[in-house]
Each structure stands twice: as C-alpha cells, then as structure tokens.
C-alpha cells in the first residue's frame, strides 16, 4: 500500500495573515486563526515525519486578472478586492506552512479555478506517486476543499478531510464537513494521521 498524500490547499498570506485580503471568518484577534494554523502545521509535520508526500496548492491570478473566470461571484469578488495576484505577497504561501525547499517529497503549484484538479497537473502527479489515499486540509472548507474532495472521489481516490486544518466563515465550515461525510472520512489531524499510519502498518 502506497503512502497517503497530503494536499495543503490555499495556505497563503491573503487567506491566513492578519493583513491578508480574504476573510475566512477568522478576524485578526480570533483564537481560531491560531488554532487553524497550528492544526495545519501538525498536519504538515506529521506527513513529513512519516515520509508522506505533500502537495501544496496556491491560488494565483495574473496581476491584471485576465485569466480569472468572471462567471462566479466568488471570483468576481476576488478581483474586486485585489486578492491573490501572482507575484504579489498575498498569493505567496504563508511562511509557517510553506513547502520545504529542495524536498523530494514536497511539490507546489498554482491554480485558478475552484477545484485543485481543474486544469492542473494534480492528477498526473498523484498517479506518478502511486497515490490511492489523500488527506486534505485547506481554506476555505466549502470552496476549494469541498470541490477538490468531490473531484478526488470521482477519480477513485480515498479521501480523509482534516477538519481542524480547514476553515470557512460562519456555518459554511460545518455544513461543508457534513456534506463531505457522504464521500470522505472526516477527522481531526491527529485522528487522520493515526488512522492512516495504522492502515499502512497493517497492509
């Protein structure tokens, strides 16, 4: 049985830094922000300790937004607030959760649709790694996380959502987790790491 692959979605300055442009329901002084960052950090650390591959995905558009699809309110709002412009601070990975440089087990790329699979090399990379099981965390739970989880399930991957390494505003987080339970395991970071480690040992 091949090692699980961790997908770390949108751990970027605009989403996580107090000065970022995108609000995910976590105000600057909200303790939930620190809890989310800590949980995501534990997810990455746990994967690294176990030698699991980690794929970091960031959202980034051209500075003029010529590559932004304006058919959805969420993307029109992104352009309106000037968020995640490629080459700018906001679109870069949040320092505490950034890919390790020169690691053969970590990969990073950008995308510009809701699902991390759409128009990217993600599936080809997962097939190259021999992946069958994914652990997914990211921001926001009801957008990139849920969309990517659904795409992954349709492509035949077994998915675990690390709930405490995800965030979304208001009730969107809990509603998305409830919806994803139909197609994925939903756990906290510690539970996901423990369960998948045990599966690997018993394989």
Q: What is the pLDDT of residue 65?
A: 98
Distance CA(120)–CA(111), nearest Å, equals 7
Q: What is the pLDDT of residue 199?
A: 79
Q: Number of folded domains in the chain?
A: 1
pLDDT value, residue 31? 80
* Rounded CA separation 175/191 (Å): 20
The CATH number of the domain where 36 resides is what?
3.40.50.850
SS3 state at 189 = helix
Question: What is the predicted pLDDT for the residue at 136?
Answer: 98
> CA 81 to CA 9: how far, in whole Å?
20
Q: What is the pLDDT of residue 18?
A: 87
Specify the pLDDT at position 169. 83
Q: Name the pTM for this structure.
A: 0.95
- Determine the Cα–Cα distance for residues 15 and 26; give it in Å rounded to an integer: 9
Q: Which residues, 6 or more positions from 143, have their beta carbon under 8 angstroms from its beta carbon? A: 74, 114, 168
Record the tokens describing residue 161, joined without a space. Answer: 């959502």
Coil, helix or strand at residue 12 = strand
Q: Tell me the residue range of the domain where 180 lies.
A: 5-202
Structure tokens at 102: 């020169």
Q: Measured in whole angstroms, how far is the alpha carbon of residue 35 from the centre of its chain? A: 16
| Residue-wise pLDDT tens digits, 136-175 | 999 999 999 999 999 999 999 999 999 999 999 889 999 9
Tokens standing for residue 164? 């405490």
For residue 148, the model assigns a pLDDT of: 98
Mean pLDDT in each 10-residue stretch from start to end of the chain (203 residues)?
A: 92 92 72 90 98 98 97 95 97 97 95 97 97 97 97 98 93 95 98 88 55
Residue-level pLDDT at 56: 98
């Amino acid at each position: 049985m091949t090692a699980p692959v961790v997908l770390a979605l949108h751990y970027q300055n605009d989403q996580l830094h107090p000065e970022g442009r995108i609000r995910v329901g976590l105000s600057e002084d909200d303790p939930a922000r620190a809890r989310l960052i800590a949980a995501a950090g534990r997810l990455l650390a746990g994967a690294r300790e176990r030698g699991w591959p980690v794929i970091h995905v960031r959202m980034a558009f051209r500075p003029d937004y010529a590559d932004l699809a304006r058919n959805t309110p969420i993307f029109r709002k992104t352009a309106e607030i000037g968020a995640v412009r490629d080459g700018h601070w906001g679109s870069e990975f949040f320092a505490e959760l950034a890919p390790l440089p020169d690691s053969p087990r970590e990969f990073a790329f950008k995308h510009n649709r809701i699902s991390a699979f759409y128009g990217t090399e993600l599936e080809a990379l997962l097939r190259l790694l021999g992946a069958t099981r994914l652990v997914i965390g990211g921001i926001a739970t009801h957008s990139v996380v849920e969309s990517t989880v659904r795409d992954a399930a349709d492509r035949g991957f077994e998915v675990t959502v690390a709930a405490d390494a995800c965030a979304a505003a208001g009730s969107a987080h809990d509603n998305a987790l409830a919806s994803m339970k139909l197609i994925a395991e939903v756990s906290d970071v510690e539970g996901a790491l423990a369960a998948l480690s045990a599966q690997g040992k018993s394989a």
